[in-house]
Amino acid sequence: MSSVTNATPSGGSNDVSLEEPKKMTREDWRKKKELEEQRKLGNAPAEVDEEGKDINPHIPQYISSVPWYIDPSKRPTLKHQRPQPEKQKQYSTSGDWYKRGVQEHAIATRYRKGACENCGALTHKKKDCMERPRKVGAKYTGMNIAPDEHVQPQLMFDYDGKRDRWNGYNPEEHMKIVEEYSKVDLVRRCCGLLGRGLVFGLAGTRNVCYNSPRHQWGEEEPNSQTERDHNSEDEDEDKYADDIDMPGQNFDSKRRITVRNLRIREDIAKYLRNLDPNSAYYDPKTRAMRENPYANTGKNPDEVGYAGDNFVRYTGDTISMAQTQLFAWEAYDKGSEVHLQADPTKLELLYKSFKVKKEDFKAQQKESILEKYGGQEHLDAPPAELLLAQTEDYVEYSRHGTVIKGQEKAIACSKYEEDVKINNHTCIWGSYWKEGKWGYKCCHSFVKYSYCTGEAGKEIAVSILNLNSNWFSALQIHQEKQKEKKKKKHKKSSNSDSEGEEKKKQEKLKKALNAEEARLLHVKEIMQLDERKRPYNSLYETREPSEEEMEAYRMKRQRPDDPMASFLGQ
């Protein structure tokens, strides 16, 4: 046992005896580790806590080990890791909520000491009063004392209680909404037309139609509730048929917002028709896919169920409708009172007469130009499809250029005659190539329009080629000998010339060295002068130095890294 002494503020001391952990020997430590390994492998029984529960051997030591100052008994347990009841907060139940409209105390008739000086309530002060400031407070008048507010204690909720959206909701309030909607539905059934009045009596709701024929002629309305319900049920289908929204469109007259391109949920989504990422682009914001998703699959747009929004937009009478609308705008700008929606028949007749007059005007203009300048024969040319040899046949190629799907394009023939063989030749001219010359492959002849000699011509051509090759080799040997002689003569003359050039270079270098020494002396003299007396541009030259001058500068310049630089002046 050891004692721990803690100094008190009064100068005394408190002795608290705690059992410090004893140091384990090396042998005990080794046995403890072996036992832990056996427990983890399942060869030894697990450790048991004070309640008889097994302790998981895979729990880390810093979690399972009990601090020596918490449990002096040193018994294995995980109780220190579990929540302690004395430290847990007392949470409110799910039924507890803030009370509303509760008056716990009766209204006072006279002012009480410590109450609000403005309204007279005991639950707050004057600076916290939410009532309108009175001209003379309740402290001085003693009249109209406000009731005391209900002081709600602070509610403590757990994680679920804080996030319970229905906590404090009174289910009886929902019955008010149900009754309100039932009354609205009853009014809608009884008074579907404008001009009807409603009389709400104590016994119920009675429908009085002041503008009906029966009321005008003094006849009584049907009094029985069953008869009114029967008449209203027959008119429900026709009455509300116009209010039903069409699928794919929802229009709000107050906000003027139209939600378009909404698909029916039974249809296939546009982005699921072709899962290739390089196919048609799908805009998720507007739910639009303008291009055809089956464009690269080889399917015919007429056979698929969906070929893109642009395909639907530019098919049928859409284009003609747009042209008609454009004509209506142009005609209105020019003074014609036409409108596509207001008077479609008048616009259609006017547009038809306009197209007829436009075609007649074009035909007359064309005839007048042809009569004046001519050229009717150029208008009788075949169509552009035949001239450019273009078709709409689908052909699919691989990356190597071979045809995978479709018919291969036929080779275009030239305007000249092909495969024409003359003078007993079995091959055409240009079928043989040798040493930059064209000829016939059948006889190796290089003369065009010559007569074919067959195999004999090939043998003669081979013999002539051998003779030419021998002569060519002899000619090359002779030319090489001539070149060698010229080189020898050139070397002799160049040796004599090189000696004279070397002498000239040496003389130029001597002159350059003397000039460089003079320049260095001049620079040294100028640098010794005062800056104010030094002439302008005294050290500047615009002439480009020669090779000899550069060599003299390199020879005369001082190098600070040279170890012999300090001996130059000695």
Which tens digit of pLDDT belongs to each residue from 27-60? 999 998 999 999 999 899 998 887 888 889 998 8
Token couple for 225: 């509730």
Nearest to 290, CA basis, from 322, 313, 274: 313
pLDDT, greater one: 464 or 364: 364
pLDDT at position 324 is 92
Question: What pTM, to 2 d.p., does this model score?
Answer: 0.24
Taking only the tens place, the pLDDT of each residue in 199-255 is 433 334 444 444 444 444 444 444 445 455 545 555 554 444 444 444 444 545 444
Taking only the tens place, the pLDDT of each residue in 486-519 is 777 777 666 666 777 888 888 888 888 888 888 8
Contact call for residues 293 and 308 (beta carbons, < 8 A): yes
Nearest to 69, CA basis, from 16, 20, 7: 20
Mean pLDDT of 348-361: 94
Q: Output the DSSP codes for 67-129.
A: PTTT-TT-----GGGSPPGGGS--PPPTT-----S---SPPPSS--TTS-TTT--TTS-GGG-
CA–CA separation, 97 and 155 (whole Å) = 8
